[in-house]
Chains A and B, each alone.
Chain A
Amino acid sequence: MPENCEHWHRVIAERALRDLDPDTEAGVATHLASCPESRALAEEFGTTAAALDHARPDSRAFAADPPEEAYTPSPQHLYNEITSRLAALRARRRRRSWAIGVGAAAVLIGVFVMVFTTTRSTPVAAPGVAFTNDVVDGVVALEERSWGTEIHLRAEGFTPGQQYNVWLERADGSRVGAGTFTGVTHPPVVVTLSSALAESHAVAIGISQPDGTLVMRKSLT
Protein backbone atom coordinates (compact mmCIF):
# COMPACT_ATOMS: atom_id res chain seq x y z
CA MET A 1 0.00 0.00 0.00
CA PRO A 2 1.53 3.33 -1.04
CA GLU A 3 2.20 5.90 1.59
CA ASN A 4 -0.86 7.81 2.83
CA CYS A 5 -3.17 5.38 1.11
CA GLU A 6 -5.75 5.66 3.85
CA HIS A 7 -6.05 9.37 3.15
CA TRP A 8 -6.73 8.68 -0.50
CA HIS A 9 -9.36 6.08 0.37
CA ARG A 10 -11.35 8.79 2.14
CA VAL A 11 -10.95 11.12 -0.81
CA ILE A 12 -12.06 8.34 -3.15
CA ALA A 13 -15.24 7.98 -1.11
CA GLU A 14 -16.09 11.64 -1.68
CA ARG A 15 -15.06 11.37 -5.32
CA ALA A 16 -17.60 8.56 -5.82
CA LEU A 17 -20.38 10.89 -4.70
CA ARG A 18 -19.45 14.22 -6.32
CA ASP A 19 -17.01 15.81 -8.69
CA LEU A 20 -13.81 16.95 -6.97
CA ASP A 21 -11.88 20.07 -7.78
CA PRO A 22 -9.27 19.57 -10.55
CA ASP A 23 -6.24 19.53 -8.25
CA THR A 24 -7.70 16.89 -5.91
CA GLU A 25 -8.95 14.87 -8.89
CA ALA A 26 -5.45 14.93 -10.37
CA GLY A 27 -4.02 13.73 -7.06
CA VAL A 28 -6.54 10.89 -6.91
CA ALA A 29 -5.77 9.89 -10.48
CA THR A 30 -2.04 9.77 -9.76
CA HIS A 31 -2.65 7.65 -6.69
CA LEU A 32 -5.03 5.28 -8.46
CA ALA A 33 -2.49 4.68 -11.18
CA SER A 34 -0.09 3.25 -8.63
CA CYS A 35 -2.46 1.51 -6.20
CA PRO A 36 -4.55 -1.54 -7.27
CA GLU A 37 -6.26 -1.70 -3.88
CA SER A 38 -7.47 1.86 -4.24
CA ARG A 39 -8.63 1.18 -7.79
CA ALA A 40 -10.73 -1.73 -6.51
CA LEU A 41 -12.14 0.50 -3.80
CA ALA A 42 -12.95 3.22 -6.33
CA GLU A 43 -14.82 0.67 -8.42
CA GLU A 44 -16.75 -0.61 -5.42
CA PHE A 45 -17.68 2.91 -4.32
CA GLY A 46 -18.60 3.74 -7.90
CA THR A 47 -21.19 1.00 -8.15
CA THR A 48 -22.57 1.78 -4.71
CA ALA A 49 -22.86 5.47 -5.57
CA ALA A 50 -24.57 4.58 -8.86
CA ALA A 51 -27.22 2.71 -6.92
CA LEU A 52 -28.06 5.95 -5.14
CA ASP A 53 -29.38 7.32 -8.45
CA HIS A 54 -32.42 5.07 -8.02
CA ALA A 55 -33.65 6.87 -4.93
CA ARG A 56 -36.58 9.21 -5.45
CA PRO A 57 -36.08 12.91 -4.77
CA ASP A 58 -38.92 12.84 -2.25
CA SER A 59 -37.36 9.96 -0.38
CA ARG A 60 -38.02 9.88 3.32
CA ALA A 61 -34.39 8.85 3.68
CA PHE A 62 -33.35 12.40 2.71
CA ALA A 63 -34.91 13.88 5.79
CA ALA A 64 -32.50 14.89 8.51
CA ASP A 65 -34.08 12.36 10.79
CA PRO A 66 -36.02 9.96 8.59
CA PRO A 67 -39.13 8.80 10.36
CA GLU A 68 -40.14 5.19 10.57
CA GLU A 69 -42.88 4.46 8.10
CA ALA A 70 -46.19 5.10 9.81
CA TYR A 71 -47.45 1.58 10.13
CA THR A 72 -50.89 0.80 11.41
CA PRO A 73 -51.25 -2.97 11.04
CA SER A 74 -49.15 -4.58 13.73
CA PRO A 75 -47.31 -7.80 12.93
CA GLN A 76 -49.68 -9.61 15.31
CA HIS A 77 -52.69 -8.19 13.47
CA LEU A 78 -51.17 -9.24 10.16
CA TYR A 79 -50.39 -12.68 11.49
CA ASN A 80 -53.97 -13.13 12.67
CA GLU A 81 -55.36 -11.93 9.34
CA ILE A 82 -53.05 -14.17 7.35
CA THR A 83 -53.73 -17.27 9.43
CA SER A 84 -57.49 -16.70 9.20
CA ARG A 85 -57.21 -16.31 5.42
CA LEU A 86 -55.16 -19.48 5.26
CA ALA A 87 -57.77 -21.27 7.37
CA ALA A 88 -60.47 -20.04 5.00
CA LEU A 89 -58.43 -21.26 2.04
CA ARG A 90 -58.03 -24.67 3.64
CA ALA A 91 -61.75 -24.85 4.39
CA ARG A 92 -62.56 -23.87 0.81
CA ARG A 93 -60.16 -26.53 -0.44
CA ARG A 94 -61.81 -29.12 1.82
CA ARG A 95 -65.26 -28.08 0.57
CA ARG A 96 -64.02 -28.29 -2.99
CA SER A 97 -62.63 -31.77 -2.33
CA TRP A 98 -65.93 -32.79 -0.85
CA ALA A 99 -67.82 -31.34 -3.77
CA ILE A 100 -65.56 -33.11 -6.21
CA GLY A 101 -66.00 -36.36 -4.28
CA VAL A 102 -69.76 -36.00 -4.15
CA GLY A 103 -69.86 -35.03 -7.80
CA ALA A 104 -67.75 -37.99 -8.79
CA ALA A 105 -69.97 -40.30 -6.74
CA ALA A 106 -73.06 -38.82 -8.37
CA VAL A 107 -71.59 -39.34 -11.80
CA LEU A 108 -70.68 -42.92 -10.95
CA ILE A 109 -74.15 -43.58 -9.61
CA GLY A 110 -75.65 -41.98 -12.68
CA VAL A 111 -73.52 -44.10 -14.96
CA PHE A 112 -74.36 -47.20 -12.97
CA VAL A 113 -78.08 -46.46 -13.05
CA MET A 114 -77.94 -45.72 -16.74
CA VAL A 115 -76.08 -48.93 -17.50
CA PHE A 116 -78.29 -50.90 -15.16
CA THR A 117 -81.53 -49.55 -16.52
CA THR A 118 -80.33 -49.88 -20.06
CA THR A 119 -79.40 -53.43 -19.37
CA ARG A 120 -82.32 -54.40 -17.23
CA SER A 121 -85.36 -52.51 -18.30
CA THR A 122 -84.98 -51.52 -21.84
CA PRO A 123 -88.32 -52.09 -23.46
CA VAL A 124 -88.37 -54.67 -26.15
CA ALA A 125 -86.12 -52.97 -28.60
CA ALA A 126 -85.61 -55.94 -30.84
CA PRO A 127 -88.46 -56.86 -33.12
CA GLY A 128 -90.88 -59.13 -31.32
CA VAL A 129 -91.87 -62.56 -32.51
CA ALA A 130 -95.55 -63.29 -32.07
CA PHE A 131 -96.76 -66.72 -31.19
CA THR A 132 -100.16 -68.22 -30.72
CA ASN A 133 -101.75 -71.62 -30.34
CA ASP A 134 -104.78 -73.05 -28.65
CA VAL A 135 -103.40 -72.33 -25.21
CA VAL A 136 -101.30 -69.19 -25.18
CA ASP A 137 -100.94 -66.03 -27.17
CA GLY A 138 -98.13 -63.53 -26.92
CA VAL A 139 -94.98 -61.94 -28.21
CA VAL A 140 -91.34 -62.46 -27.35
CA ALA A 141 -88.22 -60.41 -28.14
CA LEU A 142 -84.64 -61.46 -27.72
CA GLU A 143 -81.68 -59.18 -27.10
CA GLU A 144 -78.13 -60.32 -27.35
CA ARG A 145 -76.00 -59.54 -24.29
CA SER A 146 -72.37 -60.14 -23.53
CA TRP A 147 -73.43 -62.80 -21.06
CA GLY A 148 -76.09 -64.48 -23.30
CA THR A 149 -79.60 -63.48 -24.25
CA GLU A 150 -82.17 -61.32 -22.54
CA ILE A 151 -85.72 -62.44 -23.22
CA HIS A 152 -88.71 -60.11 -22.97
CA LEU A 153 -91.92 -62.10 -22.86
CA ARG A 154 -95.49 -60.83 -22.87
CA ALA A 155 -98.19 -63.48 -23.08
CA GLU A 156 -101.49 -64.68 -21.72
CA GLY A 157 -103.45 -67.86 -21.53
CA PHE A 158 -101.47 -69.52 -18.77
CA THR A 159 -103.03 -71.45 -15.90
CA PRO A 160 -103.00 -69.32 -12.78
CA GLY A 161 -100.55 -70.63 -10.22
CA GLN A 162 -98.93 -73.00 -12.67
CA GLN A 163 -95.17 -72.80 -13.04
CA TYR A 164 -93.76 -72.53 -16.54
CA ASN A 165 -90.20 -73.02 -17.76
CA VAL A 166 -88.81 -70.92 -20.59
CA TRP A 167 -85.93 -72.16 -22.71
CA LEU A 168 -83.97 -71.53 -25.84
CA GLU A 169 -83.24 -74.32 -28.22
CA ARG A 170 -79.98 -74.95 -30.03
CA ALA A 171 -79.74 -76.18 -33.58
CA ASP A 172 -79.03 -79.68 -32.26
CA GLY A 173 -82.28 -79.67 -30.34
CA SER A 174 -80.78 -79.27 -26.88
CA ARG A 175 -82.36 -76.70 -24.63
CA VAL A 176 -80.85 -74.06 -22.38
CA GLY A 177 -83.03 -72.78 -19.58
CA ALA A 178 -84.01 -69.17 -19.44
CA GLY A 179 -85.93 -69.07 -16.15
CA THR A 180 -89.43 -69.65 -14.88
CA PHE A 181 -92.60 -67.74 -14.20
CA THR A 182 -95.98 -68.43 -12.66
CA GLY A 183 -99.12 -68.13 -14.69
CA VAL A 184 -101.79 -65.56 -13.93
CA THR A 185 -105.23 -64.95 -15.31
CA HIS A 186 -105.01 -61.27 -15.78
CA PRO A 187 -103.24 -59.16 -16.79
CA PRO A 188 -100.88 -60.76 -19.29
CA VAL A 189 -97.63 -62.10 -17.96
CA VAL A 190 -94.80 -59.66 -18.66
CA VAL A 191 -91.41 -61.00 -17.67
CA THR A 192 -87.78 -60.46 -18.53
CA LEU A 193 -85.73 -63.62 -18.46
CA SER A 194 -82.11 -64.52 -19.06
CA SER A 195 -80.39 -67.36 -20.84
CA ALA A 196 -76.72 -68.14 -21.11
CA LEU A 197 -77.19 -69.17 -24.71
CA ALA A 198 -76.26 -66.52 -27.21
CA GLU A 199 -79.14 -65.30 -29.30
CA SER A 200 -77.28 -66.17 -32.46
CA HIS A 201 -77.12 -69.81 -31.34
CA ALA A 202 -80.80 -70.03 -30.52
CA VAL A 203 -83.07 -71.49 -33.19
CA ALA A 204 -86.27 -71.58 -31.17
CA ILE A 205 -87.84 -70.48 -27.93
CA GLY A 206 -90.27 -72.51 -25.96
CA ILE A 207 -92.35 -72.72 -22.83
CA SER A 208 -93.11 -75.95 -21.04
CA GLN A 209 -94.46 -77.13 -17.74
CA PRO A 210 -92.07 -78.63 -15.17
CA ASP A 211 -93.20 -82.13 -16.14
CA GLY A 212 -92.09 -81.49 -19.70
CA THR A 213 -95.48 -80.80 -21.20
CA LEU A 214 -94.88 -78.46 -24.09
CA VAL A 215 -96.95 -75.26 -23.95
CA MET A 216 -95.54 -73.58 -27.00
CA ARG A 217 -92.49 -73.63 -29.26
CA LYS A 218 -91.69 -70.85 -31.66
CA SER A 219 -88.97 -71.02 -34.25
CA LEU A 220 -86.66 -68.03 -34.40
CA THR A 221 -85.09 -68.75 -37.74
Chain B
Amino acid sequence: MRTAINAYSGEMFGFAQRALGDRGLAEDAVQETFIRAWRATRRFDPALGSQRTWLFAILRNVVIDATRQRTAVPTAAKADGAIQDQIDELLRSWVIEEALRRLTTEHRQAVIDVAYRGRPAADLAGELGVPESTIRTRLFYGLKALRLALDEMGWNDA
Protein backbone atom coordinates (compact mmCIF):
# COMPACT_ATOMS: atom_id res chain seq x y z
CA MET B 1 0.00 0.00 0.00
CA ARG B 2 2.85 2.35 0.78
CA THR B 3 4.12 1.97 -2.78
CA ALA B 4 0.72 2.79 -4.21
CA ILE B 5 0.39 5.81 -1.93
CA ASN B 6 3.78 7.08 -3.00
CA ALA B 7 2.98 6.55 -6.64
CA TYR B 8 -0.58 7.83 -6.93
CA SER B 9 -1.68 9.80 -3.89
CA GLY B 10 -0.51 13.15 -5.27
CA GLU B 11 -2.42 12.74 -8.48
CA MET B 12 -5.44 11.38 -6.66
CA PHE B 13 -5.43 14.25 -4.23
CA GLY B 14 -5.24 16.70 -7.11
CA PHE B 15 -8.26 15.20 -8.78
CA ALA B 16 -10.22 14.96 -5.53
CA GLN B 17 -9.47 18.57 -4.73
CA ARG B 18 -10.56 19.62 -8.21
CA ALA B 19 -13.77 17.63 -7.89
CA LEU B 20 -14.64 18.52 -4.31
CA GLY B 21 -13.11 21.98 -4.09
CA ASP B 22 -11.90 21.41 -0.56
CA ARG B 23 -8.52 20.23 0.64
CA GLY B 24 -9.85 18.52 3.75
CA LEU B 25 -12.52 16.65 1.84
CA ALA B 26 -9.99 15.77 -0.84
CA GLU B 27 -7.56 14.29 1.65
CA ASP B 28 -10.36 12.40 3.31
CA ALA B 29 -11.46 11.04 -0.08
CA VAL B 30 -7.94 9.84 -0.86
CA GLN B 31 -7.67 8.14 2.51
CA GLU B 32 -11.07 6.55 2.07
CA THR B 33 -10.04 5.34 -1.38
CA PHE B 34 -6.96 3.56 -0.06
CA ILE B 35 -8.96 2.07 2.79
CA ARG B 36 -11.57 0.71 0.38
CA ALA B 37 -8.78 -0.55 -1.87
CA TRP B 38 -7.09 -2.27 1.05
CA ARG B 39 -10.33 -3.95 2.03
CA ALA B 40 -10.99 -5.04 -1.54
CA THR B 41 -7.46 -6.06 -2.44
CA ARG B 42 -8.58 -9.54 -3.38
CA ARG B 43 -10.88 -8.12 -6.03
CA PHE B 44 -8.06 -6.34 -7.83
CA ASP B 45 -7.18 -8.15 -11.05
CA PRO B 46 -4.15 -6.74 -12.88
CA ALA B 47 -5.42 -8.43 -16.02
CA LEU B 48 -8.40 -6.07 -16.06
CA GLY B 49 -6.50 -2.85 -15.60
CA SER B 50 -3.63 -1.14 -13.89
CA GLN B 51 -3.51 -0.39 -10.21
CA ARG B 52 -3.80 3.29 -11.04
CA THR B 53 -6.96 2.70 -13.06
CA TRP B 54 -8.40 0.63 -10.22
CA LEU B 55 -7.61 3.24 -7.60
CA PHE B 56 -9.11 6.01 -9.70
CA ALA B 57 -12.24 3.95 -10.23
CA ILE B 58 -12.58 3.68 -6.45
CA LEU B 59 -11.77 7.35 -6.00
CA ARG B 60 -14.45 8.21 -8.54
CA ASN B 61 -17.03 6.41 -6.40
CA VAL B 62 -15.74 8.02 -3.22
CA VAL B 63 -15.97 11.45 -4.80
CA ILE B 64 -19.48 10.75 -6.07
CA ASP B 65 -20.51 9.66 -2.56
CA ALA B 66 -18.94 12.77 -1.06
CA THR B 67 -20.66 14.98 -3.63
CA ARG B 68 -24.00 13.37 -2.90
CA GLN B 69 -23.55 14.00 0.80
CA ARG B 70 -22.82 17.64 0.13
CA THR B 71 -25.78 18.07 -2.20
CA ALA B 72 -28.60 19.76 -0.37
CA VAL B 73 -31.17 18.63 -2.93
CA PRO B 74 -32.59 15.21 -2.24
CA THR B 75 -30.71 12.71 -4.38
CA ALA B 76 -33.28 11.61 -6.85
CA ALA B 77 -32.14 9.17 -9.48
CA LYS B 78 -31.84 11.96 -12.01
CA ALA B 79 -29.67 14.03 -9.69
CA ASP B 80 -27.53 10.99 -9.02
CA GLY B 81 -27.00 10.50 -12.72
CA ALA B 82 -26.08 14.14 -13.14
CA ILE B 83 -23.53 13.91 -10.36
CA GLN B 84 -22.00 10.81 -11.90
CA ASP B 85 -21.80 12.43 -15.34
CA GLN B 86 -20.22 15.51 -13.84
CA ILE B 87 -17.61 13.51 -11.93
CA ASP B 88 -16.89 11.29 -14.93
CA GLU B 89 -16.31 14.29 -17.16
CA LEU B 90 -14.12 15.85 -14.52
CA LEU B 91 -12.14 12.65 -14.27
CA ARG B 92 -11.67 12.50 -18.04
CA SER B 93 -10.44 16.07 -18.13
CA TRP B 94 -8.12 15.26 -15.26
CA VAL B 95 -6.68 12.27 -17.12
CA ILE B 96 -6.09 14.37 -20.24
CA GLU B 97 -4.35 17.03 -18.24
CA GLU B 98 -2.24 14.45 -16.47
CA ALA B 99 -1.34 12.82 -19.79
CA LEU B 100 -0.37 16.19 -21.23
CA ARG B 101 1.69 16.91 -18.16
CA ARG B 102 3.69 13.77 -18.82
CA LEU B 103 4.88 15.03 -22.20
CA THR B 104 8.14 16.84 -22.57
CA THR B 105 7.78 20.60 -22.42
CA GLU B 106 8.45 20.96 -26.17
CA HIS B 107 6.00 18.29 -27.18
CA ARG B 108 3.31 19.53 -24.81
CA GLN B 109 3.66 23.12 -25.90
CA ALA B 110 3.47 22.19 -29.55
CA VAL B 111 0.35 20.08 -29.04
CA ILE B 112 -1.37 22.72 -26.93
CA ASP B 113 -0.56 25.60 -29.27
CA VAL B 114 -1.82 23.74 -32.31
CA ALA B 115 -4.75 21.85 -30.78
CA TYR B 116 -6.19 24.44 -28.42
CA ARG B 117 -4.98 27.70 -29.89
CA GLY B 118 -5.29 26.66 -33.51
CA ARG B 119 -1.86 27.97 -34.44
CA PRO B 120 -0.31 26.55 -37.62
CA ALA B 121 3.00 24.74 -37.31
CA ALA B 122 4.54 27.28 -39.65
CA ASP B 123 3.65 30.16 -37.28
CA LEU B 124 5.15 28.39 -34.31
CA ALA B 125 8.24 27.56 -36.29
CA GLY B 126 8.70 31.25 -37.17
CA GLU B 127 8.13 32.29 -33.58
CA LEU B 128 10.54 29.72 -32.17
CA GLY B 129 13.08 30.06 -34.96
CA VAL B 130 13.00 26.39 -35.90
CA PRO B 131 12.02 24.65 -39.15
CA GLU B 132 8.34 23.89 -39.68
CA SER B 133 9.26 20.22 -39.94
CA THR B 134 10.63 20.38 -36.41
CA ILE B 135 7.27 21.57 -35.05
CA ARG B 136 5.45 18.83 -36.97
CA THR B 137 7.91 16.25 -35.64
CA ARG B 138 7.15 17.50 -32.13
CA LEU B 139 3.45 17.10 -32.86
CA PHE B 140 4.03 13.61 -34.20
CA TYR B 141 5.96 12.43 -31.16
CA GLY B 142 3.76 14.43 -28.83
CA LEU B 143 0.66 12.62 -30.06
CA LYS B 144 2.46 9.27 -29.86
CA ALA B 145 3.53 9.97 -26.26
CA LEU B 146 0.06 11.23 -25.41
CA ARG B 147 -1.51 8.01 -26.67
CA LEU B 148 0.95 5.99 -24.62
CA ALA B 149 0.19 8.01 -21.49
CA LEU B 150 -3.56 7.71 -22.03
CA ASP B 151 -3.28 3.96 -22.48
CA GLU B 152 -1.23 3.68 -19.30
CA MET B 153 -3.91 5.59 -17.41
CA GLY B 154 -6.67 3.34 -18.65
CA TRP B 155 -8.22 5.86 -21.00
CA ASN B 156 -11.23 4.63 -22.90
CA ASP B 157 -11.81 6.30 -26.26
CA ALA B 158 -15.42 5.20 -26.36
Contacts and interface: CB of A to CB of B under 8 A. Distances in A.
A207 B153 CA distance: 93
Contacts of B23: 72
Contacts of A51: 96, 99, 146, 150, 155, 157
B31 A64 contact: no
Nearest to B30: A78
Contacts of B35: 82, 85-86, 89
Interface stretch (B42-50, B54-62, B67-75, B131-139): B131-139
Interface in A44-77: 44-45, 47-52, 54-57, 59-62, 64-66, 68-69, 71-73, 75
B64 interface: no
Chain A contact residues, majority secondary structure: helix
A50 B157 contact: yes
Chain B contact residues, majority secondary structure: helix
A154 interface: no
Contacts of B119: 18
B112 A62 contact: yes
Contacts, number: 127
A45 B92 CA distance: 18
B13 A10 contact: no
B157 A78 contact: no
A99 interface: no
B100 A61 contact: yes
Given A44-B147, A78-B31, A82-B35, A52 B114 contact: no
Contacts of B154: none
Contacts of A69: 10-11, 13-14, 17
Contacts of B1: 79, 82
B116 to A, nearest CB: 6
Interface in B1-43: 1-2, 5-6, 9-11, 13-14, 17, 23, 27, 30-31, 34-35, 38
Interface of A: 7, 9-11, 13-14, 16-18, 44-45, 47-52, 54-57, 59-62, 64-66, 68-69, 71-73, 75, 78-79, 81-82, 85-86, 89
Closest 7 CB pairs of A and B: A10-B136, A69-B14, A61-B100, A13-B139, A13-B140, A17-B115, A61-B97
